[in-house]
Structures are given as structure tokens and as C-alpha cells.
A = this chain, B = another copy of it.
């Protein structure tokens, strides 16, 4: 009997679904609009239809699914399989998503937050596939995290481990949406990087970004990196501050779970080597001298597929 695994990446805008063979090779994938405003029942129905279409195209039927995995943004009760609420899916309140998907697909379903799932994807088939200990960061609206220790995802006592964006870097510093002050996320996420640039321009700092702010009413993280490449001094300062926070995060994680590799992912890695090299520079300058460190700091390699691959891998662990 053929066995296949399904990986689901449920986001506020799109549901991405992948169908994998027993070696976790991607056979086929599809993305459909979430239409979260229609409510959880409709979303799961749309998801199920997409999955059935996908596996039929791949030459399988519903009964061939051995297990599935699903990743969503938090906060959720991952142990109980419930989405508590969701910034991007306001109709989702206390939704027993794991059971709903399990009923629809008639198979066991694993459930975890999107950053942990993407971490597992990179660990299984991407930037971390040849190591046993890794740390993973997603740089987007916020900073998500994932930790692999000795080949296993760190879940934490309550299933909320690896909220690495909320490590405090500057005590008493910038206010974070979480209620703390000085979190890494309040400085070095894509949104916070853009926000710091806009604040500086509004405060009168000379920069070619001033025109962007005037024309678009806002500055994006992409704008910052574009103007950095053109030599803008403010864009350089903002990037340096972001890189320094990310380097301190790397140092702190090295002294915690001592990964062999640290992987950055998310929209902000489009900035490319100019960002990666700054992070490595700050790391090398600030890391201890007691022993030579050989941790590798790099970018993710799977792009948007990390979520469906990690979800399928998580499902596979169930059987």
C-alpha cells in the first residue's frame, strides 16, 4: 500500500498544501486563498477540497494518507490542538483545528506554530539537513523561532518554547507588542527595521528615504535595503542596528543550546549578503574569546516550502 503525507501551512491569506511520499519528497503542492472571513468550517472545507484535488492529481486517494501536519501562527494551545485566536484570522476563536482536519482527512494530524514547523522543514530538507543542533529565526512582521536539540524540536513545558523574538536584548528599551521592553522583535523584525527608519526620517535625519516616506506615506524594510545599496547613511545605520541585535541573539543562543548552525529565514533575507555579512561581523567582534566558535550563520534554502515540508515531517513523526 502506498503511503503519503500531507503538509499544511495555514496563513491568514493563503493555505499552502503539499503532498509528500514516505521519504518526504514533495510530489505536488498547491496554494488556495484562505478566505478566513467565511469562518473555520468553510476554511477547513476549502482546505480538504484542495488536498483531495492534490492527491488525486498525484494518483492517490484519501485513504492513502498516513498522517498530516499543520502549522499556524499562534497563540494556540498546541497540546490540545486549538487555535485560541489569530490576528490574521479574526473569525478563529478557540477552534479545535487539529480534530477538524483529522476528521476531514481521516488520519492523525500534528499541530504546531508556523515558526516551529518551518524550522523542522529546514532541518529535514533545507539549511539544517546535515546537522543535529540548529536554531532558526523567521524575520517578518515579528521574529519567530525554532530550536532543534540533538535532532528534536524543543517544545517547552507548555508547548510555547522558542519564542526567540521575545528574548530581551536591550532591557528597558523599545516597547514590544508583547508587553515587554527591549525584545529583539522590537528592533530587528522586518516591520521594526522599517519603523525605526521612518521614525528617524520623521525626526529630521537626512536620508534618501525621506522621499519614499513623502510619496508612499510609509517606509518598508525593502526600501531600507534598496537605499542601503545606493549608499544612504541612515539605511546603513538602521541595518547595522538590526544586524547587531541579530548577532547578539546568535551569541545568546550559542551559549544556550549551542547550535551547529543558525538559520535566518523570512522576507528580510532578500536583503542578501549585505545583511548576512553584517550579522557575522558583529558576531565575530562580540563573541567570547575562551574558545574558537565554529557555529555557521546562514540563510534558509527552502523559501516558502519550509512550512509544508516541516508540517509533513511533523505528521510523519506520528506514525
Contacts and interface: CB of A to CB of B under 8 A. Distances in A.
B256 A257 contact: yes
A122 interface: no
Given A154-B257, A167-B255, A167-B256, 5 more contacts: A147-B256, A157-B260, A162-B258, A166-B288, A178-B289
Contacts of A176: 288
Contacts of A164: 255-256
A180 to B, nearest CB: 5
Interface in A253-277: 253, 255-260
B181 A291 contact: no
Interface residues of A, number: 49
20 contacts: A131-B157, A133-B157, A147-B257, A150-B155, A154-B258, A156-B257, A158-B294, A159-B258, A161-B256, A162-B255, A162-B256, A166-B288, A168-B248, A168-B252, A171-B244, A178-B289, A179-B287, A253-B256, A256-B256, A257-B257
B257 A179 contact: no
A258 B161 contact: yes
Counting chain B CB atoms within 10 Å of each CB, which of A166, A170, A255 scores highest?
A255
A160 B252 contact: no
A1 interface: no
A288 to B, nearest CB: 4
A289 B116 CA distance: 21
A70 to B, nearest CB: 21
Contact of A171 (B132, B170, B295): B170
A149 interface: yes
A75 interface: yes
Contacts of A257: 147, 154, 156, 161-162, 256-257
A286 interface: yes
Contacts of A150: 152, 154-155
Contacts of A159: 258
Contacts of A158: 258, 260, 294
A180 B251 contact: yes
A48 to B, nearest CB: 30
Nearest to A286: B180
Contact of A179 (B157, B178, B290): B290
Counting chain B CB atoms within 10 Å of each CB, which of A181, A251, A295 scores highest?
A251
A169 interface: yes
A130 interface: no
A286 B178 CA distance: 11
A201 B290 CA distance: 31
A226 interface: no
Nearest to A291: B75
A163 interface: yes
A75 B156 CA distance: 28
Nearest to A260: B157
Nearest to A165: B255
A110 B291 CA distance: 23
A197 to B, nearest CB: 20
